[in-house]
Amino acid sequence: MTQYVFFFGGGKADGNKDMKDTLGGKGSGLAEMTNAGVPVPPGFTISTQACNAYYASGGKLPGEVDQQMDAALAKLEALQGRKLGDASDPLLVSVRSGSKFSMPGMMDTILNLGMNDRSVEGVKRKTGNGRFAKDSYRRFIQMYGNVVLGIDKEKFEHELTAAKKKYRAKTDVDLGEQALDDVIARYKIVVEKESHHPFPQDPREQLVGARDAVFKSWMNPRAITYRKLNDIPHDLGTAVNVQAMVFGNMGDSSATGVGFTRNPSTGAREFYGEFLQNAQGEDVVSGVRTPHPITDLAGVMPKAYQQLRDITTRLERHYKDVQDFEFTIQENTLYMLQTRNGKRTGLAAINIAVDMCEEGLLTKKEALLKVEPQALDQLLHPIFDPKARKGAPVAAKGLPASPGAATGTIVFTADEAVAWAQKGKRVVLVRMETVPDDIHGMSVAQGVLTATGGMTSHAAVVGRQMGKPSVVGCGALDINAKARTLKVDGKTLKEGDPISIDGSTGEVILKALPTSASEVIQVVEGRLSAEKSPIYQKFEKLLGWADEVRRLGIRANADVPKDAKVAFGFGARGIGLCRTEHMFFGADRLPHVVKMILAAARGQRGLDLTRRLKERLKEAKGGQAAEIKKELAKVEKEYGKHVKDYTTALKKLEPMQKADFMGLFKEMHGSPVTIRTLDPPLHEFLPKREELMVEIATLKAQRGSKGKGTIAAKEKLLRAVEELHEFNPMLGHRGCRLGITYPEITKMQARAIFEAALAVSKKGIPVKPEVMIPLVGHVEELKRQKAIVLEAAREVLGPDGSGVDYLIGTMIEVPRGAVTADEIAKEAQFFSFGTNDLTQMGFGLSRDDASKFLLYYQEHGLLDRDPFVTIDAAGVGLLVKIGVQKGRSVKKDLKIGVCGEHGGDPASIRFFHEVGLDYVSCSPYRVPIARLAAAQAQLEQKASD
């Protein structure tokens, strides 16, 4: 027979703390406390399995549940020496929900059950307090009427207000016994009218009604939404706890309160909470009366206070965690009503974990498991002033792409962002979407808000990399960049109007909110010394413990030395991805990049033809040689200018790239630096087609003769833009396909890498360059690019390599690359999974367009999570697994990492740990999260081994 009902009381319980699945958090806590000898009012828990059975059979329970419940009730009555609803000295019970994970306030609770017309007199007689008895009864009718019978609360409130008026009572407390009799009579009329039945007097009927109502509340819309928001599965069900009532409102020797064993906001080791004398639980939280600090209880009821301190300290030690508890003191006797691990801020989590370890309560490993990796984020980003945030209405919500608080004035273009910033203004860049070209605007903005794009859209990736608060894919924004207006929530805002965004929640607020800077960031950036920041010290101590445990290496995705420095400060030991294209957008480089692009096709053709002809010339004799020379002259005439433009532009870029790479090598102090050759389609570096057309038309309309040269140049640019236009650029001429068709670009980049490595190593700083070829789907692609890189290495480093140890490897980000990884591994010295593209191509989801339906997919249960955030283990993850297995089948020790956005996501990190990657690489600001998540992955694997 299935056990559905679990008793606790008299020093013994059927359950324990490890039965949260069956008893819920509250039920298992009550059982555990009972077993530990803590004074807990006795009762019983009806299991989550009963809840699930209730739903499975369309709202009916197996007969065993009723039988077991009746038996448990009889046991409870015997233990208490009182009967539920008895006329002389009744037992009253509370009926509360309690699921595995706490869902505060989402489900229903009924107190004072067992009250009826007869038992109310019994309570009055027994307590000698008629007002108390009547008030308890009227509260019960109200609660039962609302929760079980579904009667609108307002109907009861209406009667209560009428009674208060009639009896000239200012508050509920001013209503005397007689007035309360009147309220009870009024309430009973409400119940009869609304439910077409008199208020149930039979205590068992009341109990069954309350129990079923709690089960029903598992599926109320509020609870469903809460579960969605917190990733709690819908099939867990709730338990129901039926427990003997104790009263904190039986005069001045009674009280009730809530508390924490440590401060949940800061983590300080202080007894924290509130209480009220002569009150019931709900009075403490409802705000009707102002509760007192819990420490004041020491003066009012010293014995009970001391007992509470002793018990809660014991519970903290028992659970090895901060306890969030509820208690009631009934006529000087203390009862614990609940204990659970307390929720806390990121700051508190770190303080508490480190303190508890130093107090000997936790081992280092246990401490590491107490902190949610994601919570570390809260310590890194500016935060809104909590008071100001509370009262501010939310106008719209997008995807929380990069956490932190940003407030400033609205600007609609990157250039405007820079212009406003130069005037000392704080700006928030609001765009339909961002493109690499916006980087300068993004870098000066406090935050970035876009109407389209997903969690791996440009704005999101760059926002995270820069640690810039970003909200993306906020569909409710109606942006008119031309008119410089933003319509949202029925309001029209213009450039210069204030706006605030919360990158941790995705919320948009239409006013300026004060923020404060993160102390940890200040230390990492060298603006504050570590000794002056106790929280930084704790943060680093915990992460130091993580480093002792984790197997995965942690690297960062960083493109410029500034980011690399921050990454190193956060503990990254290596760069897993330098996207070289981001360097191309600097004001001093872009003109050369554009020149290179404009000349690339013809320039490269000229170079190739010349090379081939010159080779033939070497062998040629007599008339044949003269013929070839003629052809060479023709090629020179046709392509000479393009070749010159192309090679000059590349020559200009080479030293600039070299300087960038030197900076990266220096900031990494000898850790590996993976530099990827050019990846994005070339048109990304050119102006937009439509913009150019408008410009040309405007210039022509002005018809000034001076504009002729400009018009011609713009028209040439437009032709190039049109030539480069692609229908699907993400699957087009990008990645290694660029380097294959324009080998000079790869050559220039490889030369710059080796020149930088040589220059830095000559200064005595060790260097470990790793050249990475993107988007390889066929081994031949890698083979050819590798040949170019090797040639550049020989040219720059000489035949002996000049002491520079380098590797040449590839990204695995095309499904074909993953499934032919054994072929590819023959040519590669390392793999790095580009899980952004692998998700895009594996799933067939455009990473820039998917936000339009991915949110719908998640809301409607098609997908649990955004696959661009957490790796889709079963599908895309399988491609990773295959890639690892195949790669290592050829090279046993092949170094393998990941540099897609998933490298900074704790759940994905666990997956990468399990499939045996060597390292994860993520944006600099996620490095601490990755360090902790990697340690937890190792500890959890050990625990399950």
Q: Which of residues 834-893 bind Mg ion (CB under 5 A)?
A: 834, 837
899 scored as a contact of ligand PEP (CB under 6 A): yes
CA distance 618 to 622: 12
CB of 734 to Mg ion, least distance (A): 9
124 binds, among ligand PEP, Mg ion, none (CB under 5 to 8 A by kind): none
Cα–Cα nearest to 95, from 47, 28, 45: 45
Q: Is residue 899 annotated as part of the catalytic site, yes or no?
A: yes
User: Cβ(420)–Cβ(526) under 8 Å?
Assistant: no
Q: Which of residues 3-62 bind ligand PEP (CB under 6 A)?
A: none
323 scored as a contact of ligand PEP (CB under 6 A): no
* Cβ-proximal residues to 469 (8 Å cutoff; 6+ apart), any chain: 381, 382, 402, 403, 404, 405, 406, 446, 447, 448, 463, 501, 502, 503, 504
Q: Of residues 578, 736, 899, 922, which has the active-site annotation?
A: 899
Q: Pick from 813, 823, 872, 918 the residue near ligand PEP by CB under 6 A.
A: 813
Q: How many residues bind ligand PEP (CB under 6 A)?
A: 10
CB of 870 to ligand PEP, least distance (A): 14
Alpha helices in 151-230 (DSSP H): 153-166, 177-195, 203-217, 221-229
CA distance 797 to 755: 8
| Residue closest to Mg ion, measured at CB | 837
Q: Pick from 834, 883, 906, 928 the residue near ligand PEP by CB under 6 A.
A: 834
CB of 564 to ligand PEP, least distance (A): 17
Binding mask 664-703 for ligand PEP (x = CB under 6 A): ---------------x------------------------
CA distance 469 to 466: 9
Residue type, 114: G
Cα–Cα nearest to 368, from 530, 232, 539: 539
Instruction: Give counts: helices (H), strands (E), the chain.
Output: 35, 32
CB of 580 to Mg ion, least distance (A): 13
Between 684 and 813, CB nearer to ligand PEP = 813
* Cβ-proximal residues to 169 (8 Å cutoff; 6+ apart), any chain: 163, 175, 179
CB of 807 to ligand PEP, least distance (A): 18
Single out the segment in contact with ligand PEP by CB under 6 A; choices: 362-370, 463-471, 830-838, 931-939. 830-838
Rounded CA Rg of the chain = 35
Single out the segment in contact with ligand PEP by CB under 6 A; choices: 74-82, 522-530, 833-841, 924-932. 833-841
Ramachandran angles phi, psi of 7, nearest 5°: -90, 150
CB of 813 to ligand PEP, least distance (A): 5
Between 555 and 579, CB nearer to ligand PEP = 579
Q: Pick from 200, 900, 904, 924 the residue near ligand PEP by CB under 6 A.
A: 900
Between 477 and 773, CB nearer to ligand PEP = 773
CA distance 117 to 177: 14
- Six-digit token string for 506: 């995705």
Between 85 and 834, CB nearer to Mg ion = 834
User: Cβ(692)–Cβ(717) under 8 Å?
Assistant: yes
Between 438 and 679, CB nearer to ligand PEP = 679
CB of 456 to Mg ion, least distance (A): 10
Please report which helix (H) or strand (E) contains residue 617, including its range.
helix 590-619
Single out the segment in contact with ligand PEP by CB under 6 A; choices: 185-193, 649-657, 776-784, 829-837. 829-837
Q: Which residues pair with 397 in a beta bridge?
A: 507
Residue type, 133: A
- Find where tokens 């699930």 sit: 52
Q: Of residues 458, 582, 642, 913, which has the active-site annotation?
A: 458
Q: Which of residues 226-245 bind Mg ion (CB under 5 A)?
A: none
Please report which helix (H) or strand (E) contains residue 811, including its range.
strand 807-812
563 binds, among Mg ion, ligand PEP, none (CB under 5 to 8 A by kind): none
Between 190 and 871, CB nearer to ligand PEP = 871
Q: Which of residues 801-820 bind Mg ion (CB under 5 A)?
A: 813
Give the 3-state secondary structure of residue 58: coil
CA distance 921 to 833: 10
CB of 60 to ligand PEP, least distance (A): 51
- Six-digit token string for 938: 């190792």
851 binds, among ligand PEP, Mg ion, none (CB under 5 to 8 A by kind): none
577 scored as a contact of ligand PEP (CB under 6 A): yes
Between 362 and 772, CB nearer to Mg ion = 772
DSSP string of 674-699?
Answer: EEEPP-S-GGGGS--HHHHHHHHHHH
579 binds, among ligand PEP, Mg ion, none (CB under 5 to 8 A by kind): ligand PEP
577 binds, among ligand PEP, Mg ion, none (CB under 5 to 8 A by kind): ligand PEP
CA distance 527 to 542: 22
Binding mask 821-840 for Mg ion (x = CB under 5 A): -------------x--x---
DSSP string of 470-493?
Answer: EEE--TT-EEETTTTEEEETTEEE
Single out the segment in contact with ligand PEP by CB under 6 A; choices: 148-156, 307-315, 534-542, 832-840. 832-840
Alpha helices in 81-129 (DSSP H): 119-127
Between 45 and 677, CB nearer to ligand PEP = 677
Q: Which of residues 579-598 bind ligand PEP (CB under 6 A)?
A: 579
Between 373 and 817, CB nearer to ligand PEP = 817
Q: Which of residues 251-280 bind ligand PEP (CB under 6 A)?
A: none
Fill in the DSSP letter of residue 42: -
Between 820 and 836, CB nearer to Mg ion = 836
Strands (E), 497-621: 498-502, 507-509, 515-516, 553-557, 575-579
870 binds, among Mg ion, ligand PEP, none (CB under 5 to 8 A by kind): none
DSSP string of 584-604?
Answer: GGSTTTHHHHHHHHHHHHHHH
Q: Is residue 725 annotated as part of the catalytic site, yes or no?
A: no
CA distance 4 to 669: 62
Pairing of strands 807-812, 485-488: unpaired
Longest alpha-carbon distance in the chain: 129
Give the 3-state secondary structure of residue 549: helix
CA distance 24 to 178: 41
Between 294 and 838, CB nearer to Mg ion = 838
835 binds, among ligand PEP, Mg ion, none (CB under 5 to 8 A by kind): ligand PEP
Q: Pick from 80, 836, 851, 870 the residue near ligand PEP by CB under 6 A.
A: 836
Which residues form the interface with ligand PEP (CB under 6 A)? 577, 579, 679, 813, 834-837, 899-900
User: Where in the sequence numbering do the catalytic residues fall?
Assistant: 458, 899
Which residues form the interface with Mg ion (CB under 5 A)? 813, 834, 837
